Amino acid sequence: MFGLLHHTYLAAGTTNIASTKAGQAITSLITSTGGWLAGLGMPAGGLMIGYHAIMRNLSGGDASVDAHHLAAMKKVAVGTALVVGAGGIAHFMGGLF
């Protein structure tokens, strides 16, 4: 269907994207973005969980408010894990070029 010539062409010394100036810039951008996402996601998630914990403690024992802030803390913990994971994946993918 495609023939075997494309394998010969690909193996014959095509330009590696990491060797070009644009490829190096893209690699640096992706790696830096991943580092920033992971680096800022953890403190932001910690601050949000801290806020909900303080508001839960100051609720005066109201069960519905306590349940709301507990559910919000769980959502923030899951969201923080996703953001940090996405940042780690982006950082890893930037290093593959």
Mean pLDDT confidence for 26-34: 85
Confidence category of residue 93, pLDDT binned at 50, 70, 90: confident
Count of domains forming the chain: 1
User: Mapped to the 3 state alphabet, what secondary structure does 5-40 carry?
Assistant: HHHHHHHCCCCCHHHCHHHHHHHHHHHHHHHHHHHH
> Which residue has better confidence, 91 or 15?
91
| Mean pLDDT, range 65-87, rounded to an integer | 95
Average pLDDT of the chain is 83
What pLDDT is recorded for position 19?
75
User: Which domain range does residue 63 map to?
Assistant: 5-96
Entry pTM: 0.70
